[in-house]
Amino acid sequence: MEGLATSRIISIQASRRQHYSAFLPTFSLQLRKISNRGQVWMMKRPKSFQSIAASVQPLEASTTGHFDNKQPSKEVLELWRSADAVCFDVDSTVCIDEGIDELAEFCGAGKAVAEWTARAMGGSVPFEEALAARLSLFKPSLAQVQDFLEKRPPRISPGMEELVKKLKATNTNVYLISGGFCQMINPVASILGIPQENIFANNLLFGSSGEFLGFDANEPTSRSGGKAAAVQQIRKAQGYKVLVMIGDGATDLEARKPGGADLFICYAGVQLREAVAAKANWLIFNFRDLINALE
């Protein structure tokens, strides 16, 4: 997911086939206390979930201008192959959609959220401010989120499931780090076999009647610089020697810093953000490149 800053963006078109999972997840509720907000309801992760089939035509590297980082250097390849942890952005990377925009559209506020986002893209806006503003435009209830998840299963990017399996086969730990919401990311993690404790994302908060209350501001990913902080937290806690961040946006690029990610790989198969791509250690348009580099 991209930060709200001006940048030339090239996107692909992805069609949604009218083929949904036969399994529609049921969600139980968990009562938790968050800060001083009193009691709120949060959805627990379903035990299993299947993704919707997606027809995607990724951007072709040959049609996207000149970048000198489409081929990895020897040093970059060595870091990739020796990584003991890989952190993935979710929106427009692991999945081909932007979660909050999809939820807003489902709730009938897609145009309003898109228009606000377009205005925000014209300048620098703190992430927490942008997140709160968008959510205030449609205030999704618990019932709406559950209905959305049942009717719109995740659309996983081509090659992602195979890549995660390959990483796990080499004993590389996989994390999902997102400015999106756990309620929408948990099903993705379930599909990919990623444990819940390896998810760093935001939480929507609901009242006892399922009404929207807001989001948990205590999560590091709810603030500007949150992904970088999450990566640093993971590395410090686990003592990883080599950690790689993969994503499409400026907030993912920020994770490459001392004490954070050693390597930033820009995935531009869904969105090519040229300012971000130019600063990546390795620019890819297909996850097959990463899979092949591990073989």
Catalytic residue among 68, 89, 97, 252: 89
Catalytic residue among 91, 248, 252, 262: 91
The answer to whether residues 106 and 152 touch, using CB atoms and an 8 Å cutoff, is yes
Beta pairing partners, 256: none
- The residue ranges of every structural domain in the chain are 69-97+156-294
Residue 285 has a pLDDT of 97
- Phi, psi dihedrals of residue 163, rounded to the nearest 5°: -65, -45
Q: Is 91 a catalytic residue?
A: yes
Residue 4 has a pLDDT of 44
Q: Is 252 a catalytic residue?
A: no
Q: Give the span between the Cα atoms of 117 and 6, in whole angstroms.
A: 11
The answer to whether residues 93 and 267 touch, using CB atoms and an 8 Å cutoff, is yes
Residue 134 has a pLDDT of 92
Helix axes 142-151, 99-106, angle to 10 degrees: 100
Q: What is the DSSP letter of 128?
A: H
Positions of the chain with pLDDT lower than 50, given as ranges: 3-7, 13-39, 44-49, 52-55, 121-123
Residue 83 has a pLDDT of 98
DSSP H helices in the chain: 74-82, 99-106, 110-120, 127-136, 142-151, 160-169, 182-192, 226-238, 250-253, 274-277, 288-293
Domain 69-97+156-294 bears CATH identifier 3.40.50.1000: yes
Q: Give the span between the Cα atoms of 159 and 268, in whole angstroms.
A: 13
Distance of alpha carbon 211 from its chain centroid, rounded? 25
Residue 118 has a pLDDT of 52
